């Protein structure tokens, strides 16, 4: 593998940004951040490849044009590939709260896991503990808001499923990282799904957009809405990821919004009640 000169500086010359990093192993795949002096969100990924070594090689290959700031092995070791002041290339086409250049405003963390294509094995405890420690460090140093620790699937629902529905967002939240509420129980009731139209669908889309998702307020429960709901479920109601807005999904979304802003309208109830 040939690397550009910028990547050939001896390891250790560049000081890691986090004291939790074992080694700085430079990737050449980064540029200047555009319009952001400092990152204000963190995007979590799984590597989605058969081995961590293969993923690490890809993230350092100039031809791949992908990278991330941090890389967390199954055994909890953390390496840094790109300085936090630089724009790593991990988000791709994505949107959150209307922002489309997520690479410029984020820090990307790759978590070694073969992902959906590798039958989605659970994340080892020691690996999750390392991710939590790293997030505490980054969010503390950078004053990043809890609700801005996001999944790749949150910002690119049509393209990405990582880090997947087995990623323990609830544990992160209990240990002081990220934004989460205990999911509302799955119960019988009205369900909004593909083909539905009208004000309840538009209200659901408005709630998704209010939280940050790139949902269009079309009033039509189309493929895009379904993917957006599935992304929401992967993160916040992982017991059933089917892209259908059941009462539990809508209620969980409503409570998340309310937890951010106690004065938010309680529109979720109206969506659920009129959905039939």
Helix (H, G, I), strand (E, B) or coil at 116: helix
Residue 254 near Zn ion by CB under 5 A = no
CB of 234 vs Zn ion, minimal distance in Å? 12
Which residues are CB-contacts of 205 (< 8 A; sequence separation ≥ 6)?
Answer: 215, 216, 217, 218, 219, 225, 228
Residue 162 near Zn ion by CB under 5 A = yes
C-alpha span between 71 and 67 (Å, rounded): 10
Query: Applying CB under 5 A, which of residues 30, 33, 60, 152 lies at the interface with Zn ion?
Result: 152
CB of 174 vs Zn ion, minimal distance in Å? 24
Residue 161 near Zn ion by CB under 5 A = no
Helix (H, G, I), strand (E, B) or coil at 147: helix
* Residue in 84, 99, 110, 251 annotated catalytic: 110
Closest Cα partner for 167 from 102, 112, 98?
112
Of 30 and 45, which CB lies nearer to Zn ion in the complex structure? 45
Of 210 and 241, which CB lies nearer to Zn ion in the complex structure? 241
* Alpha helix (H) residue ranges in the chain: 52-59, 102-105, 125-142, 152-155, 169-174, 199-211, 223-236, 247-260, 267-273
Of 45 and 235, which CB lies nearer to Zn ion in the complex structure? 45
C-alpha span between 274 and 276 (Å, rounded): 6
CB of 12 vs Zn ion, minimal distance in Å? 28
* Alpha helix (H) residue ranges in 101-222: 102-105, 125-142, 152-155, 169-174, 199-211
Stretch that binds Zn ion, among 81-89, 159-167, 217-225, 264-272 (CB under 5 A): 159-167
Closest Cα partner for 43 from 205, 159, 214, 178?
178
Of 49 and 245, which CB lies nearer to Zn ion in the complex structure? 49
Q: Both tokens of residue 254?
A: 């409503």
Stretch that binds Zn ion, among 37-45, 51-59, 127-135, 203-211 (CB under 5 A): 37-45
Stretch that binds Zn ion, among 120-128, 132-140, 155-163, 254-262 (CB under 5 A): 155-163
Residue 17 near Zn ion by CB under 5 A = no
Stretch that binds Zn ion, among 112-120, 160-168, 179-187, 208-216 (CB under 5 A): 160-168
Of 109 and 130, which CB lies nearer to Zn ion in the complex structure? 109
C-alpha span between 153 and 91 (Å, rounded): 10
Query: Applying CB under 5 A, which of residues 45, 179, 234, 254 lies at the interface with Zn ion?
Result: 45
Of 92 and 176, which CB lies nearer to Zn ion in the complex structure? 92
Closest Cα partner for 178 from 210, 155, 212, 144?
144
Is 188 assigned a catalytic role? Answer: no
Active site residues: 110
Binding site for Zn ion (CB under 5 A): 45, 152, 162
């Amino acid at each position: 593998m040939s690397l550009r000169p910028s990547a050939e500086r001896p390891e250790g010359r560049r000081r890691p940004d986090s004291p939790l990093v074992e080694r700085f192993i430079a990737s050449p795949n980064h540029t200047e951040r555009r319009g952001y002096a400092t990152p204000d969100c963190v995007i979590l990924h799984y590597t989605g490849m058969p081995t961590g070594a293969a993923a690490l090689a890809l993230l350092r290959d100039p031809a791949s044009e992908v990278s991330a700031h941090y890389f967390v092995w199954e055994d909890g070791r953390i390496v840094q590939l790109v300085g936090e002041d630089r724009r790593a290339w991990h988000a791709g086409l994505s949107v959150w709260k209307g922002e489309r250049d997520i690479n410029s405003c984020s820090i990307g963390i790759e978590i070694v896991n073969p992902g959906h294509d590798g039958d989605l094995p659970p994340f080892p405890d020691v690996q999750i503990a390392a991710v939590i420690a790293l997030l505490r460090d980054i969010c503390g140093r950078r004053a990043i808001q809890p609700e801005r620790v996001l999944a790749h699937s949150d910002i690119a629902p049509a393209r990405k499923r990582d880090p997947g529905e087995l990623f323990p967002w609830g544990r992160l939240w209990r240990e002081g990282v990220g934004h989460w509420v205990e999911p509302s129980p799955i119960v019988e009731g009205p369900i909004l799904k593909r083909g539905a139209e009208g004000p309840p669908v538009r209200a659901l889309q408005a709630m998704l957009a209010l939280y940050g998702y790139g949902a269009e307020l079309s009033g039509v429960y189309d493929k895009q809405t379904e993917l957006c709901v599935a992304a929401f479920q992967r993160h916040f109601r992982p017991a059933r990821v089917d892209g259908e807005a059941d009462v539990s999904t809508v209620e969980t979304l409503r409570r998340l919004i309310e937890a951010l802003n106690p004065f938010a309208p309680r529109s979720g109830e109206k969506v659920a009640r009129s959905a039939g």
